Amino acid sequence: MTPSRTQPAPGIRACCSGVAGFSDDDAPVAPPLVVIGLGNDIASDDGVGIHAARELEIALHHRDDVDVVALPWAGFSLLDVLRGRRWAVIIDSLVTGNHTPGTIVRLDLNDLSGSVRLNSFHDINYPTVLGLGEELGWEMPDDVAIFGIETAVTDQFGESLTPDVAKAVASVVDQVYEFIDAMDTSIDERAAEP
């Protein structure tokens, strides 16, 4: 069952933790790591997070400990997807004008400027999502890597990315792999401790 507010892009899994109609006892156990691609895949470069999620879904299909989810917006949908996770990766488009198109910027809670969805005026922002989840007593991720990709075109319809932004998808996929490898190493080190 896929919630209507978190429809995945074709071929990308969506989780149902926290979905209306499921009690905490009924909700499936979510894999500890989630990769979330944010965007609108019919608005040219604004869909870069969705494009990256598609690539990562193919590359990570063999891993049961990772979900890949595509969301058209953040806010409450993001809260549902982050619930019960230990780690998360979020990929979103950036509109700052401070970087050349295709530049990948690592964002943090103190600076989400330019993120199209994590600073939304239409829904709750990302810091509020984390705070609300913690206030509700939900397990929320300890480590979150947020990657923003500077866009060239976001105000035109089109399913393809501009060339510089398209090239950035492969680079952000590599950076997501590095984050996952670091989390795997962290898990292995914790397991080895007495």
Task: Per-residue pLDDT tens, the chain, 194 aa: give them.
Answer: 233 333 444 445 444 333 433 345 555 678 899 999 998 888 889 999 999 999 999 999 999 999 999 998 777 888 889 999 999 999 999 888 889 999 999 988 777 766 766 766 566 778 888 889 999 999 999 889 999 999 998 778 888 999 999 999 999 999 999 999 888 876 555 444 55
Round to whole Å and give the CA distance between 47 and 49. 5
According to the model, what pLDDT value does residue 38 have?
92
Architecture of domain 4-192: 3-Layer(aba) Sandwich (3.40)
Residues 6 or more apart whose Cβ sits within 8 Å of residue 61: none
Tell me how far apart the 2 most distant CA atoms of the chain are, in Å. Answer: 56
At residue 114's C-alpha, the angle toward residues 103 and 151, to 5°, is: 40
**If you search the block for the tokens 């939900």, which residue do you land on?**
138
According to the model, what pLDDT value does residue 9 have?
43
According to the model, what pLDDT value does residue 122 have?
61
According to the model, what pLDDT value does residue 162 have?
93
